[in-house]
Each structure stands twice: as structure tokens, then as C-alpha cells.
Amino acid sequence: MIQLKHVSKTFQSGASSVHAVQDVSLDIKEGEIFGIIGFSGAGKSTLVRCINLLEKPTQGTVTVDGVELTGLDEKKLRQMRLKIGMIFQHFNLLRSRTVYQNIAFPLKKSNLSQEQKNQKILSLLELVGLSDKKDAYPSQLSGGQKQRVAIARALANDPKVLLCDEATSALDPQTTKSILALLKKVNEELGITIVIITHEMAVVKDICDRVAIMELGHVVEEGTTEDVFVHPQKPVTKDFISTAGNVDKIYELIAEKNPLTILQPGEKMVMLTYSANNAGEPLISYLSEAFDVKANIIYGNIDILKGKTIGKLVVTLSGEKANMEKAIAYIRERQVDMEVIQE
């Protein structure tokens, strides 16, 4: 649905230039929810603006629904933009217009009759659950309600793609959940491809099918959410994943020299990450039986990732040196991700 090929965007300010996006290629498939995650300044907002050409890429091509946007003139581009809805962190509703008028606003560009437009707006209000607020002004709405209006407005011209630029970053966790559920519903019921820009791993975890991680203008890692979660490759990805769970706590405990974390000679502290396909196996007890290696659980965390379980365990292994080596080889063989934290 969306193909980015070698997209770069450089901002010139006087003599210095900022490379916001550098040589990014992505292929976002029809009907999927694609997450782009990165810390502030990673270039993700610029990248999403390159998809509808709010920012013109300095290099590379952008193709949406088979049409190469980078090759279009302004007029044709505006036509194509009707097919690409967008929502923003700060909602960007028109303050002087009611909820109804805000949703009617993009329909100025539509060929529907007055009555069809009216029907459309009422059904969108129903979809986002705000039928009773149709005559309210944005100032009378909560943040979550404003984002619902923005979503309805973005859907008015039946887009094929919905771009979400930090759409939940200004919302509390509870409201974030309900907005994500709405986006999921939009994706499932209307078949709209959704691109989500966020710095919150929890957002990706909840609804994204695939995810790309951005750092300093580059996409450093890309894959299905589950793969990236279970086998993160790059340090920045690991950082994000630790923000979603709370296994990070272990590093604090180590730094505090908590008695739990003090190792005897020959012991190893490791973090095991296992996913749905090997979660149920009695690894810990097997280590003890087969290799006489004791695994003392120090810290644990279980994440539900789009319905699948991802477990993280911090354990100290103790036993004979040779047995330890065998045990570790066995863990690796079982495709349980293992990271040695301390030895």
C-alpha cells in the first residue's frame, strides 16, 4: 500500500543542514497496522510527513496505492491526499466549528450530495461513539473525545491509509487504550492501512502488526512486532522494550547492590526471554534435573503482545562450571533469548 524507496529529507538552515530522515525504505502492506517508533528527534514525524508529502523528500520516491506521489503536481497530489487521512498529537480541530462541522470540513472536497454528506457525518459520529456531542465545540471536549473527532474527520473521505502522528502522546493511559481500540476497529472494519508514529512501546505492543525502529534518521530495525520484541537486535530497540515492561528494575537493583543481586563465585545472572512457542516448557526444572544447575528466579515479567505471551525472567544460575556450560548451550538450543547480565 505504501512504498518508501531510499527516502531522505534534509533541512537547510543557513549553513548547517539537518538530516532528519536518511535513506529510509519501507514497504507497508495493505490492511496492516505499521508502527514507527523512535525517541524524540529520531526523524519519525518527518518520515510520516513524507508519506503524504507534507514534507517533500529531498531524495527518494513515495508510492501510495500504486501512485508515485513524488512525481505528481500539486493539484493531483491534493487529490491523492483525500485517500490519506491523518491525525495528530494535538488533534488540530477547528475551534470555531462544532464537532459536526469539523467532520464536515474535509467533505468540502467531496462530490457527495448534501444529504449523503449528512448521512456520512452521522455514521462517522456513531463509529467513534460521539453521536451525542455533534453540536459541541472542541473546547467542550476531553482530549480523548477530541482525538475521536479527529479520527472521524480523517475518515470522512474514505481514505485507504490513516497516518497517526503521536496520536496518543497527549492522552492518559486509559484514554490511550480506548483510542487504540478505536484504531484497531477502524483497521478491522474498514480495512484501512494504519501507520502509527509513537515513542511509546506500549502502543506498538497493543496494536501494531509490524514495527520499524528509528534512530538518528535511519530505520535501524524492522520486523513483526513479536520478532522485534523477542529478538531485539539493536541497543535502541532493547531500550524501548525495557520501557514497556519493568525488567529494567533489575539494573537498578544491581546498581543499589541489593543482596539479591550479589553473586557467589561461579554464578551467572542471566535474563531469559521466551515467547509463545517455547513459553510453556519447564526449562528451569529441566536445567536442575538434567545438568544439576540451579536457577534461582530473581525477577520476572510477562507481557501480552497482541494476545501472545512474552516472558522475561532474571535468574541466577549456579552449579559446576562444565554443567553450567552445558545448561547455557541447552538454553540457546531451545531458542530462548539469553543475555548474561552479571558473572
Partner 1 sequence: MSFLYQIAPNLEPLGAELVKCIGQTLQMLFVSGIISFILGLLLGVVLIVTKKDGIMRQVAVYNFFDKAIDVIRSIPFIILMILLIPVSRAIMGTGTGVPGAYIALIAGTVPFFARQIESVLSDVDYGLVEASAAMGFSPIEIIFSVYLKESIPGITRVTMITMVSLIGITAMAGAIGAGGLGDFAIRYGHQMGYRDMIWVTVIIILVIISIIQGIGNLIIRRTTH
Q: Which residues bind partner 1 (CB under 8 A)?
A: 52, 54, 74, 78-82, 84-86, 88, 90, 92, 94-96, 105-106, 108-109, 137-139, 153, 157, 163
The grid cell for 261 is 543481586
Q: How far is the CB of 36 from partner 1 (least distance, A)?
A: 17
Q: How far is the CB of 151 from partner 1 (least distance, A)?
A: 12
Terminal alpha carbon distance of the chain: 48
Task: For partner 1, give the closer residue by CB, 164 or 328.
Answer: 164
Sheet with 84-87, strands from edge to edge, namely 84-87, 161-165, 193-198, 33-37, 210-215, 218-224
Helix 283-291, helix 321-333: angle, nearest 10: 140
Q: How far is the CB of 96 from partner 1 (least distance, A)?
A: 5
Task: For partner 1, give the closer residue by CB, 166 or 222.
Answer: 166
Residues 213, 236: Cα–Cα separation, whole Å: 8
Q: How far is the CB of 117 from partner 1 (least distance, A)?
A: 15
Q: How far is the CB of 49 from partner 1 (least distance, A)?
A: 8
Q: Where are the alpha helices (DSSP H) in the chain?
A: 44-51, 74-81, 99-104, 114-127, 143-155, 173-190, 201-207, 225-230, 235-244, 249-255, 276-279, 283-291, 321-333
Residues 170, 150: Cα–Cα separation, whole Å: 14
Task: For partner 1, give the closer residue by CB, 56 or 332.
Answer: 56
Q: How far is the CB of 50 from partner 1 (least distance, A)?
A: 12
Task: For partner 1, give the closer residue by CB, 93 or 295.
Answer: 93
In the Cβ-directed half-sphere of 209, how many Cα atoms lie within 13 Å?
Answer: 14
Q: How far is the CB of 184 from partner 1 (least distance, A)?
A: 22
In the Cβ-directed half-sphere of 252, how many Cα atoms lie within 13 Å?
Answer: 6
Contact 63, 51 (CB under 8 A): no
Would you give the DSSP letter of residue 190? H
Residues 136, 133: Cα–Cα separation, whole Å: 5
Task: For partner 1, give the closer residue by CB, 82 or 298.
Answer: 82
Q: How far is the CB of 97 from partner 1 (least distance, A)?
A: 8
